[in-house]
Amino acid sequence: MIPTSFDYKKANSVEEALSMLGDDTQILGGGHSLIPALKLRLNSPGTLVDISKISSIKEISDGGDSIAIGGGATHASIANDKSLDQYCPMMGQAAREIGDIQVRNVGTIGGSIAHADPAADWPAILLAADARIVVQNKNGSREIAADQFFKGFFETALEEGEIITAIHIPKSQKNSNSCYVKFKQPASRFAIVGVAAAVEMDGSVVKSARLGLTGVGEFAYRATAIENALTGKPLNETTINEVVQNATENTNVMSDHFASEKYRAHLANVYLKRALRKLG
Amino acid sequence: MANKISINVNGKMHTGAIEARKLLSDYLREDLSLTGTHIGCDTSSCGACTIHLDGKAVKSCTILAVQADGCSVTTVEGLATNGELHPIQEGFKEEHGLQCGFCTPGMMMTATDLLKSNPNPSEQEIRDALEGNFCRCTGYHNIVKSIQYAAKKMA
Ligand SMILES: Cc1cc2nc3c(=O)[nH]c(=O)nc-3n(C[C@H](O)[C@H](O)[C@H](O)COP(=O)(O)OP(=O)(O)OC[C@H]3O[C@@H](n4cnc5c(N)ncnc54)[C@H](O)[C@@H]3O)c2cc1C
Ligand code: FES
Ligand code: FES
């Protein structure tokens, strides 16, 4: 399959990339969502601005109270990062389950969240992690909380001409006690249901929790009613069964030939329980 | 618009001007006549087109050739040295790791990437690493044995 013709510009820095962006241009990250779409001619931009060679946005570094992941960091580099395994284990767990080795070697976290596929893994994790997303545009940069970033079906708070340069993962108590579990589509490994859970304990009871779900609705969301219901309770089987009842409340549950609406809603509860059991 | 590229493929420099929309898999097969890289699904799923880009296994049907400008590429043709089979090639021969052979180049490229980062993988680790490579003939059993053969030989 051959895409329609386009021009190609390789950027060596974020500033250069921003100067190349304009009418009828599109950012090329790892290309593992965009190139398949170009091949199917679902998309036909005039010019691609390749940001995948900009080394400054590929790194993962210690930012003091948070870990800073470059927007161009590949899933594989996140999977192999020891500091994330220590401060936020759900990151590595998710990264190691994205697609396959070849996909992880090329696809990036920035590309994934910009694309905002409803079945992508990162959105659930960034919600649970209370991540901050740093974007750069021609006028400077701004930070967007993960809670404000995912807006709808393939829709985000990102504006035209903005590049995701970093994602900050707080080194919080919650993130150090976190996990990600998913029920995968067997061919693509995308999430039919994916649950990211981060729970802070106060002795034997839950101090606070953040729970992100993906694959279920039109975009990733937090199960806030369940987060609240968990607070102050011991994290045991009784609590989990009592509290995790309706993880899809207020969500328009998707349905496709892999999983019906009813089955997906059921799986959301099952996987949420599994995630919490791992942290109890 | 033609884009100038210069790519090191299997140790040899290739320069040329190509269309931006040309896929790396098509560039290797059509422009360089390196037809060992197979195109199976052409939709990023089957792994038959797997090559190494700067040492890492990638699906060449999902990379633009212009993106490989300045990079080094290894294809299945680059595995053997001076006519001597690479241990992974020897493994597939000795352990009957192929039937029709369509998936084999991609299998070998993923396997050599795995053995670089994990020289002594368990059977489960080998099976996990082959997640992105489909074989419609062998049932994978002998492919796993072929990779174990190579791991032993390279140890
Ligand atoms: C076979 C296969 C299996 C997969 N399995 C999974 C899976 O299990 N789970 C999962 O979550 N994903 C999966 N993916 C998707 C994969 O993770 C992609 O890498 C990811 O969705 C897109 O990242 P990219 O860097 O390739 O972005 P691209 O494809 O380059 O870009 C995607 C979109 O984001 C924009 N963009 C890219 N980078 C930036 C940036 N830094 N700032 C602003 N905009 C940007 C582009 O303009 C484009 O609109 C799979 C993909 C394939 C091909
Ligand atoms: S041809 Fe590239 S993955 Fe199938
Ligand atoms: S040997 Fe035929 S597809 Fe693998």
> Do residue A13 and residue A61 come from a single domain?
no
- The answer to whether B40 faces chain A, any CB pair under 8 Å, is no
Question: If pLDDT is split at 50, 70 and 90, which confidence band does A115 have?
Answer: very high
Q: What are phi and psi of B139, to 5 degrees?
A: 75, 10
Which whole-number Å values give the CA distances from A181 to A192, A218, A245, B24, in the listed order? 11, 19, 18, 34
DSSP A32-51: TTHHHHHHTTS---SEEEE-
Cα(B46)–Cα(B154) distance, rounded to whole angstroms? 27
Q: Are A240 and A270 within one domain?
A: yes
- Domain span at A23: 7-50
Residue A164 resides in a domain: yes
A127 touches chain B (CB under 8 A): no
Q: What confidence tens digit (pLDDT) does each residue in B19-32 have?
A: 999 999 999 999 99
Query: Which of B46, B110, B137, B147 to probe ligand 3 with, by most ligand atoms within 8 A of CB?
Result: B137
In short, whether B48's Cβ falls inside 6 Å of ligand 3 is no
- The total domain count for chain A is 3
Smallest-distance ligand from the CA of B41: 2
CATH 1.10.150.120 given to domain B87-154:
yes
Tokens of A187: 């061919």
Tokens representing B150 are: 């190579």
User: Does one domain contain both A99 and A114?
Assistant: yes
CA dist., res. A10 & res. A31, Å (int): 13
Model pLDDT, residue B10 = 98
Task: Work out the mean pLDDT of chain B and round it to a whole number.
Answer: 97
Residue A246's pLDDT is 93
pLDDT tens, position by position, B114-134 = 999 999 999 999 999 999 999
Domain match, A85 and A101 both:
yes
**pLDDT for residue B85:** 97
**Is position A2 within any domain?**
no
Nearest chain A alpha carbon to B132: A100
DSSP state of A84: H
Interface contact B67-A7, CB threshold 8 A: no
Structure token pair of residue A171: 């080194």
What is the third-level CATH fold of B2-78?
Ubiquitin-like (UB roll) (3.10.20)
- Do residues A61 and A44 share a domain? no
Asked if A36 lies within 8 A of B44 by C-beta distance, the reply is yes
In angstroms, the CA B44 to CA B60 distance is 9
Reported as a pLDDT band with limits 50, 70 and 90, residue A81 is very high
Q: Does B63 touch chain A (CB under 8 A)?
A: yes
Interface predicted TM-score (ipTM) of this complex, two decimals = 0.97
B48 lines ligand 2 (CB under 6 A): yes
Q: Are residues A137 and A189 in the same domain?
A: no
> Quick one: A7 exposed, middle or buried, by C-beta within 10 A (0-12, 13-18, 19+)?
middle
Round to the nearest angstrom and report the end-to-end CA distance of chain A: 49
A249 part of a folded domain: yes
Neighbours of A255 (CB within 10 A): 12
Q: Which CATH number characterizes residue A20's domain?
A: 3.30.43.10
Verify that A185 and A123 share a domain, yes or no: no
The DSSP string of B39-96 is -SSSSS-S-TTEEEETTEEEEGGGSBGGGGTT-EEE-GGGTSBTTBPPHHHHHHHHTT
**Can you read off the two tokens belonging to residue A154?**
């393939």
Query: Is the predicted pLDDT of residue B154 greater than 80, yes or no?
Result: yes
Ligand 2 atom closest to Cα of B50?
2
Q: With a cut of 70, say whether residue A33 has pLDDT above it.
A: yes
Nearest CA-CA distance, residue A108 and chain B, Å: 13
Interface touch A101/B132, C-beta < 8 Å? yes
Q: Quick one: average pLDDT of A55-73?
A: 97
Query: What are the structural domain ranges in chain B?
Result: 2-78, 87-154
B23–A contact, CB cutoff 8 A: yes
User: In the block, which residue shows the tokens 């995308």?
Assistant: A190
Contacts of A48 in chain B (CB under 8 A): 20, 64
Which alpha helices (DSSP H) does chain A contain, by range?
14-20, 34-39, 75-79, 82-87, 89-95, 101-106, 109-115, 122-129, 146-149, 173-176, 224-230, 237-243, 261-279
**Predicted confidence band of residue B2 (pLDDT cuts 50, 70, 90):** confident
Q: In this complex, do B20 and A5 lie within 8 Å of one another by their Cβ atoms?
A: yes
Per-residue pLDDT at B1:
63
In angstroms, rounded to a whole number, what is the distance separating the alpha carbons of residues B5 and A272? 49
pLDDT digits (tens, 9 = 90+) for B32-57: 999 999 999 999 999 999 999 999 99
Q: Is A144 helix (H, G, I), strand (E, B) or coil?
A: strand
Q: Are residues A28 and A109 in the same domain?
A: no
Over residues A152-177, the pLDDT tens digits come to 999 999 999 999 999 999 999 999 99
Confidence of residue A28 (pLDDT cuts 50, 70, 90): very high
User: How does residue A187 score in pLDDT terms, banded at 50, 70 and 90?
Assistant: confident
What one-letter code names the amino acid at B127? R
Interface residue A235 vs chain B (CB under 8 A): no
